[in-house]
Structure 1
Amino acid sequence: MAAASPALAEAVLHRGNSGEPTSLDPAHISINIEGFIIYDLLEGLTIFGPDGTIKPGAAEKWDVSEDGTVYTFHIRENAKWSDGSPLTAGDFVFAMQREEDPKTAAEYATLLYPIKNAEEVNTGKAPVDQLGVKAIDDKTLEITLKQSTPFFLQLMAHYTALPISKANYEKYGNDFVKPGNMLSNGAFTLQAHVPNDSLTTVKNDNYWDAANVKLDKVIFYPIEDDAAAIRRFEAGELDTVYNFSAEQLKRLREKYKDQVHVSPSLSTYYYTFDMTNPPYDDVKVRTALSMAVDRDFLTDEIFNGAYLPTYSMVPPGMEGYTLAKPDWADMSQIDREDKAVELLKEAGYGEGGKPLNLTIRYNTNTNHERVATAVADMWKTTLGVNVQLQNLDVASHYAYLKQGGKYDVARAGWAADYADPENFLYLLLSFNKTFNYSHYVNPKFDELMKKSYTQQDQAERMKTMNEAEQLVVNDQPIAPLMNQAELWMISSRVKGWQDNAVNDHRSKFLSLSE
Structure 2
Amino acid sequence: MKKSIFALVSSIAVLGAALAGCGGQQASTGDQNAPAGQQPAANAEKKPQLLRLNLHSEPPTADPGIAEDTTSGAIIQATFDGLTRIGKDGKTPEPSVAEKIDVSEDGLTYTFHLRDSKWSNGDPVTAHDFEYAWKRALDPKTASNYAYQLYYVKNGEAYNKGKAKAEDVGVKALDDKTLEVKLENPTPFFLELTTFRTYYPVNKKVVEANPKWANEASTHVGNGPFKMESWEHKSKMVLVKNDNYWDKDNVKLDRIEFSMVEDETTELSMFENGELDWAGAPMSNLPTDAIPALKDSGKMTTQPIAGTYWYKFNTEKPPFNNVKIRKAFAYAIDRQSLIDNILQAGQLPAMGAVPPSMALNKDGYFKDNDVETAKKLLAEGMQELGISKLPPITLSYNTNEGHQKIAQAIQDQWKKNLGVDVKLENKEWKVYLEDLHEGKFQIGRMGWLGDFNDPINFLELYKEKDGGNNDTRWENPKFKELLNRSAKESGEQRLKTLAEAEAILMDEMPIMPIYFYTLSWVKDDDVKGVVIDGLGGVDWKWAYIE
TM-score tier, shorter chain, comes to over 0.9
Deviation at 1:410, TM superposition (A): 0.9
CA distance in 2: counterparts of 1:82 and 1:126, whole angstroms = 34
Q: What residue in structure 2 maps to residue 460 of structure 1?
A: 493
The answer to whether the Cα contact below 8 Å between 1:203 and 1:216 also exists between their aligned partners in 2 is yes
Q: 1:286 aligns with which of 306, 326, 348?
A: 326
The answer to whether the Cα contact below 8 Å between 1:39 and 1:159 also exists between their aligned partners in 2 is yes
- The letter of the residue matching 2:217 is P
The CA deviation string for residues 151-195 of structure 1, in whole angstroms up to 9 with x for no partner, is: 211111111011111222233343255222222210111111011
Q: For the structure 1 residues 499 and 82, does the alpha-carbon distance in structure 2 shift closer, same or farther, using more than 3 Å as the test?
A: closer
- The letter of the residue matching 2:136 is R
Q: TM-score, normalised by structure 2?
A: 0.87
Please say if 1:422 is aligned against 2:461.
no
Q: For the structure 1 residues 325 and 176, does the alpha-carbon distance in structure 2 shift closer, same or farther, using more than 3 Å as the test?
A: closer
Q: For the structure 1 residues 285 and 180, does the alpha-carbon distance in structure 2 shift closer, same or farther, using more than 3 Å as the test?
A: same
- The letter of the residue matching 1:49 is G
Q: What residue in structure 2 maps to residue 92 of structure 1?
A: 130
Bigger relative contact order, structure 1 or 2, given CA contacts below 8 A and separation 6+?
A: 2
Deviation at 1:420, TM superposition (A): 0.5
Please say if 1:25 is aligned against 2:42.
no
The CA deviation string for residues 7-29 of structure 1, in whole angstroms up to 9 with x for no partner, is: 46642111212111111111221
The answer to whether the Cα contact below 8 Å between 1:324 and 1:466 also exists between their aligned partners in 2 is no
Deviation at 1:323, TM superposition (A): 4.6
CA distance in 1: counterparts of 2:66 and 2:155, whole angstroms = 21
CA distance in 2: counterparts of 1:156 and 1:499, whole angstroms = 18
- The letter of the residue matching 1:124 is G
The answer to whether the Cα contact below 8 Å between 1:357 and 1:385 also exists between their aligned partners in 2 is no
Aligned CA RMSD, in angstroms, stands at 1.9
Deviation at 1:499, TM superposition (A): 4.2
Q: For the structure 1 residues 67 and 253, does the alpha-carbon distance in structure 2 shift closer, same or farther, using more than 3 Å as the test?
A: same
Q: What residue in structure 1 maps to residue 474 of structure 2?
A: 440
Q: What residue in structure 2 maps to residue 510 of structure 1?
A: 543
Q: State the percentage of identical aligned residues.
A: 37
CA distance in 2: counterparts of 1:34 and 1:51, whole angstroms = 23
CA distance in 1: counterparts of 2:419 and 2:391, whole angstroms = 8
Q: What residue in structure 2 maps to residue 232 of structure 1?
A: 270
- Report the secondary structure of 1:224's partner residue: coil
Please say if 1:72 is aligned against 2:107.
no
- Report the secondary structure of 2:357's partner residue: coil
Q: What residue in structure 2 maps to residue 449 of structure 1?
A: 483
Q: What residue in structure 2 maps to residue 365 of structure 1?
A: 400
Q: For the structure 1 residues 83 and 407, does the alpha-carbon distance in structure 2 shift closer, same or farther, using more than 3 Å as the test?
A: closer
The answer to whether the Cα contact below 8 Å between 1:324 and 1:469 also exists between their aligned partners in 2 is no
Answer with 1 or 2: which has the greater Rg: 1
The answer to whether the Cα contact below 8 Å between 1:15 and 1:238 also exists between their aligned partners in 2 is yes
The answer to whether the Cα contact below 8 Å between 2:399 and 2:428 also exists between their aligned partners in 1 is yes
Q: What residue in structure 1 maps to residue 203 of structure 2?
A: 165
- The letter of the residue matching 2:486 is S
CA distance in 2: counterparts of 1:233 and 1:213, whole angstroms = 24
Deviation at 1:337, TM superposition (A): 0.5
- The letter of the residue matching 1:414 is W
CA distance in 1: counterparts of 2:457 and 2:346, whole angstroms = 23
The answer to whether the Cα contact below 8 Å between 2:236 and 2:258 also exists between their aligned partners in 1 is yes
1:371-450 correspondence runs (5 A): 371-402=406-437, 404-450=438-484
The CA deviation string for residues 27-46 of structure 1, in whole angstroms up to 9 with x for no partner, is: 22111111111111011111
Q: What residue in structure 2 maps to residue 317 of structure 1?
A: 357
Residues paired across the two proteins, number:
497
- Report the secondary structure of 2:140's partner residue: coil
- Which residues of structure 2 form unaligned runs of 5+? 1-42
Please say if 1:246 is aligned against 2:288.
yes
CA distance in 2: counterparts of 1:434 and 1:221, whole angstroms = 30
Deviation at 1:433, TM superposition (A): 2.8
- Report the secondary structure of 1:14's partner residue: strand
Q: Which moved more, 1:198-207 or 1:485-494?
A: 485-494
CA distance in 1: counterparts of 2:68 and 2:231, whole angstroms = 19
The CA deviation string for residues 402-422 of structure 1, in whole angstroms up to 9 with x for no partner, is: 2x2232111110000000001
The answer to whether the Cα contact below 8 Å between 2:153 and 2:183 also exists between their aligned partners in 1 is yes
Q: TM-score, normalised by structure 1?
A: 0.93
The CA deviation string for residues 103-125 of structure 1, in whole angstroms up to 9 with x for no partner, is: 11111101110000101111112
Please say if 1:471 is aligned against 2:504.
yes
Q: What residue in structure 2 maps to residue 57 of structure 1?
A: 96
Q: For the structure 1 residues 50 and 392, does the alpha-carbon distance in structure 2 shift closer, same or farther, using more than 3 Å as the test?
A: farther
Please say if 1:273 is aligned against 2:313.
yes
Deviation at 1:305, TM superposition (A): 4.4
Q: What residue in structure 1 maps to residue 528 of structure 2?
A: 495
- Report the secondary structure of 2:536's partner residue: coil
CA distance in 2: counterparts of 1:8 and 1:338, whole angstroms = 64
- Report the secondary structure of 2:534's partner residue: coil
